[in-house]
Amino acid sequence: MPNYSYHCEHCNTDFELFFYIKDYVSQPKCINCDSKKTTRNYIADVVTQSSNVKKSDSELKTIGDLALRNTERMSSDQKAELYHKHNDYKETKEETKPLPQGMKRIQKPPKFKWTEKGNIKQRRKLK
């Protein structure tokens, strides 16, 4: 059963209600003052949903789900270490080794982005 977060404007309190989707009410009575001046707190729902819902191995459908579940289990130190492991090589430039005599390096072609104009795909140089 999903939980829904609400905020009462009359008594300025936050509360949660648990009910089936078929029984959903957009403005229920406040649990403290019985006022109908309530609004949904969607941000609180998103935060509690991501922290409360844990998928089991059989529910994982994509690699993204697996990666998200594994990163939630990591500490901030582990996340930082993993980030540096995968991104530090970009900062260091490899020293170019001298080539044998008579050889030269191949230059990389400019990068292009494919765009579709009408039914014709076109290349556009990126700057």
In a domain, 119, yes or no: no
Tokens of 53: 């819902």
**Largest pairwise CA distance in the chain:** 88
**pLDDT band with cut points at 50, 70 and 90 for residue 15:** confident
In a domain, 25, yes or no: yes
pTM equals: 0.38
Find out whether 54 and 31 touch, Cβ atoms under 8 Å: no
How many separate domains does the chain show? 1
In a domain, 71, yes or no: yes
Q: Which of 74, 76, 17, 5 is CA-nearest to residue 46?
A: 5
- C-alpha span between 65 and 39 (Å, rounded): 31
In a domain, 21, yes or no: yes
Q: Mind listing the pLDDT tens digit for each residue in 55-114? A: 667 777 888 888 888 888 888 899 889 888 888 766 655 566 788 899 888 887 777 777
**Domain hosting residue 58, numbered range:** 3-85
In a domain, 101, yes or no: no
In a domain, 40, yes or no: yes
- C-alpha span between 65 and 10 (Å, rounded): 40
In a domain, 59, yes or no: yes
Q: Positive or negative, the Cα torsion across 43, 48, 8, 29? A: positive
pLDDT at res. 29 = 86
Tokens of 75: 């500490």
pLDDT at res. 109 = 78
In a domain, 22, yes or no: yes
